[in-house]
Amino acid sequence: MSATPSRRAGLTARAAALASATALAATACTSGTADPQAEGGGDWKTVTVDHAFGSTEIGAEPERIVTVGWSDEAALLEMGIVPVGMAASTYAGDEDGYLPWDLEKIEELGGEKPELINTDDGLPVEEIAALEPDLILGVQSGMEKDEYEQLSGVAPTVPYLDQPWMTPWQDEVRTIGEAVGRPDDADKVVADTESYLDGLVEEHPEFEGATFAAGTLMPDTGELGFYINGDPRNALLEQLGLTPAPFLEDIDAEKDAFYGTISQENAEDIDADVLVMWFNTPEDRETLEDSGVFGRVRAVKDGGFVGYEDHAESMAISSPNPLSIPWVMDGVTEDLSKAVEGKA
């Protein structure tokens, strides 16, 4: 699917990285934090965070935080904390890998840009350790167990809570707030963001009862990929009052996958009022729209198709968070409204 990083690196290379990283972490000297950073309260109590691989104890207030999830940094930033390092977005970021909503918030906070970490081919343990973190967050990630174990040798590490890439943004924010000792701040961030979404729902009563499907064109196979129920994209559209199309229940998805596929030959099975699709390139969109089968999809025939090519817009919805949601959703809801009314 679009914006999906590859997830494999050699085990031998990782073992070597772990050995080097552990040694580096053991000899590292404490250095300054990003500014602004977590405010020391002086009475920290050990926090235990449960997750997919067990639980993580955080015995001291974290001051140097590294995020390796898609949007973990946004939750921190909205709570006023600038991480010292974060995952680069090679899909949707600027030429360096920074996402626009992150940059806007960092500038607002007056902080320094975090160091960027390329996670496309796995999590580079040695590079992460070099940042001398005292907390590593991968709540919205596909962190594998061996990566978790390696990173835990560097600093307390919090991976995804249940399934890779499918942590609801509300749970992501609250988990991160718990890990940094700011549960009340996290609750406020969630409440403020949900209030914004509630406002959109009030503005668009036409969404109620309309069915949707969201997906993309699989560039390697030409199949149509659709996000399954529970995926953050679908959950966000559901928050607007839309209903997942029934056919999504019948899509076969591999274990731990957040999407399933349908052959273009079976495009008529895509039965939804609204069809939302993201494309990696304008050429991919043109190829699909020019195909004879795509025109037979009900939403396409009835003016309910919305397509996006902008990578930043795609990422903003692919990993929704308190910064990206207000950044993108005003425009998206207007597009969806037209689609529901058959005028897209």
Please give the Cα distance from 220 to 234 (Å, whole number): 23
Query: CB under 8 Å to 55, separation ≥6 — which residues?
Result: 48, 49
Which of 85, 155, 71, 87 lies closest to 121, judged by CA?
Answer: 87
Instruction: Provide the pLDDT for residue 256.
Output: 67
CA geometry: angle 239, 312, 264, nearest 5 deg? 75
Pairing of strands 115-117, 85-87: parallel
pLDDT at 35: 39
Beta-strand ranges (E) seen in 65-210 are 65-67, 85-87, 115-117, 135-137, 157-158
pLDDT on residue 292? 84
Say what the pTM is: 0.84
Give me the amino acid identity at 97. G
Q: Can you tell me the distance from the alpha carbon of 174 to that of 145, in angstroms, rounded to the nearest whole number?
A: 22
Q: Measured between alpha carbons, how far is 332 from 63 in angstroms, rounded to an integer? A: 36
Alpha carbon distance 263, 268 (integer Å): 10
Burial per residue of 86-125, b for 16 or more beta-carbon CB atoms within 10 angstroms, e otherwise: bbbbebbbeeebbbbbbeebbeebebeebbbbebeebbbb
Quick one: pLDDT at residue 42? 62
Alpha carbons 114 and 116: distance in angstroms, whole number: 6
Residue pLDDT tens, the chain, 344 long:
444 333 323 322 332 332 333 333 332 322 233 334 444 446 899 999 999 999 999 999 999 999 999 999 999 999 999 999 999 999 999 999 999 999 999 999 999 999 999 999 999 999 999 999 999 999 999 999 999 999 999 999 999 999 998 899 999 999 999 999 999 999 999 999 999 999 999 999 999 999 999 999 988 888 999 998 888 899 999 999 999 999 998 887 777 678 899 998 888 899 999 999 999 999 999 989 998 889 999 999 999 999 999 999 999 998 999 999 999 999 999 999 999 999 99
